Structure 1
């Protein structure tokens, strides 16, 4: 079956990283989050492009992701692991020179016993209640942890995509109370935190979704373009239905294009009957259910038969598509499937 064409503009991604870097003072280092296979766009390609642009510190979710980034970058750049030092990760952390962000007394003990003298960071929980040491736990182990020389102390904001949410200030105050006066680099801000201003920047920022063209970075350049080939075009008479469960019924003579793509490719079923594809700027509504491999689209209003329809691009961002599906741009990006023919614009790379 023909596959969709997924164009990834690494130049735009780098410009977004540079624009987020410009939001903070020269003394603040701008790292890059490349977890979830570079938000679905290919961690090796993304990391190499950012390293060429000057990024020297990268964040991943798990040690296995760190292995892929280390293989792409070679020695030198720092690779930090949000999940910390999990049981079974010791050899990988050692051999690949990864820096675990230790989340608990258990992880701190494991790291200091298994890899004494090797780099680590500390993750604190300032109110998100997801990962990291809470104030009481940090108070109990801070002297031991600080004596071992952490590379970084970080926390994560829960509501940074809502700048006026009171929890942002609460978490900032908690982070300061837990870390002020410590001679260790600090990091609190991902994309949303960067946009909230210098109070949240500290020593290191960690842009993620904004680099990839997603909200809340409204000035981001689009990074992803996805077009889906038309497999078949058919004409419907009034009363005929389309797709599983016959949820779409033609009310008048209708032209339907069936394109190659579906929820197996990350185009989630929730956009059934709600989303659009585009042809030369003209929106074409999805007709009926999104299935595993196919999407039916109403093209009655088009003056010519398209060979492909665009689902991501200048007319529809990842956040536009996410809104149609009742989700967030992160899910759209990280769900993009392996069947697409990927092209990395401006690099000569194809996959």
Structure 2
């Protein structure tokens, strides 16, 4: 097989959800936006639903419709972007709950779908989505009279536990929702780890389910094994790859593997990145190209059929670090050419 194999460990995914659930005394939802962080919304969400997840979150209504088709009736599906123009049929057809972000969205929603469930998103300082305090104050009584399913906000700095923004947003959210009967939610993965005062009535972990930071105790969910196409000897002074970006200072053995930036292995990884084999680190040489990456395999006695980029010896966040980015970007960029294997005992 000439394409890389992306193995998704469903048992690890469920173990991570259960571990985060045990950290709280409230309900634990699951965020499956961006095609379940690139791992496949249908198989991932079905497994989570079978494990007991009763509330899911997606970014947009189109994702919610795909999710409903995958998991069927029953679990609630909330949409972070709220009620956007053209969403009414999808919200109604798939029984999706928009998280209303503004007065305009609330008016759109009650006019298009009177009596249809909705939640409310509040801006507690991130300045991204949600009603600001003054807007919420003017609309609060009207919104609460229609029994919203959830009042939520989102933490900007939860992956940095001692950042003062966390306490600030907690105080603002508590003040904005004082006396509210509706369930409240503030914590994603990082918020779960901040402690009980951030948990309220519902937590909604995302990246932690998929083995990413800041959940350092997460079980690895993703393994990426990339086939070796060709191996060659390079003498001192010869270059490897585009733009002569790497020039050998000594004789080397170089393997060319079948993946590149078209597969989500972003070009910025480049030199400084490593693959592994049996725990041994193997440096990337030169530039990442569209379909190919060149790797120094001089230290290997026998050439394996595959080299591993993500797995037991390198986490998705380690690989992200090679490119100066975050695990979220690597996960959600994993390309469509991979042979995806879902493993569960």
Q: In 1, distance between residues paired with 2:275 and 2:249?
A: 20
- Where does residue 6 of structure 2 map in the other structure? 6
Q: In 2, distance between residues paired with 1:168 and 1:253?
A: 53
Question: What's the CA shift for 1:280?
Answer: 1.1
Structure 1: which 5+ runs fail to align? none
- Where does residue 51 of structure 1 map in the other structure? 49
Question: What's the CA shift for 1:277?
Answer: 0.3
From 59, 63, 66, the counterpart of 2:64? 66
Question: What's the CA shift for 1:328?
Answer: 0.2
- Where does residue 273 of structure 2 map in the other structure? 275
Structure 2: which 5+ runs fail to align? none
Q: In 2, distance between residues paired with 1:115 and 1:68?
A: 20
Q: RMSD between aligned alpha carbons?
A: 0.7
Question: What's the CA shift for 1:262?
Answer: 0.3
Q: Deviations over 1:196-225 (max 9, x none)?
A: 000000000000000000000010000000
Q: In 2, distance between residues paired with 1:305 and 1:267?
A: 22
Question: What's the CA shift for 1:307?
Answer: 1.0
- Where does residue 315 of structure 1 map in the other structure? 313
- Where does residue 17 of structure 2 map in the other structure? 17
1:265 aligns with 2:279: no
Q: In 1, distance between residues paired with 2:104 and 2:207?
A: 31
Q: In 1, distance between residues paired with 2:48 and 2:299?
A: 42
- TM-score, reference length from structure 2: 0.99
Q: Please state whether the residue corresponding to 1:269 is helix, strand or coil.
A: coil
Q: In 1, distance between residues paired with 2:303 and 2:342?
A: 28
- TM-score, reference length from structure 1: 0.97
From 135, 140, 143, the counterpart of 2:141? 143
1:232 aligns with 2:220: no
From 212, 216, 219, the counterpart of 1:218? 216
Q: Please state whether the residue corresponding to 2:182 is helix, strand or coil.
A: coil
**Residue correspondence of structure 1 range 124-135 to structure 2 within 5 A:** 124-135=122-133
Q: In 2, distance between residues paired with 1:272 and 1:139?
A: 50
Q: In 1, distance between residues paired with 2:240 and 2:202?
A: 52
What is the aligned length?
A: 345
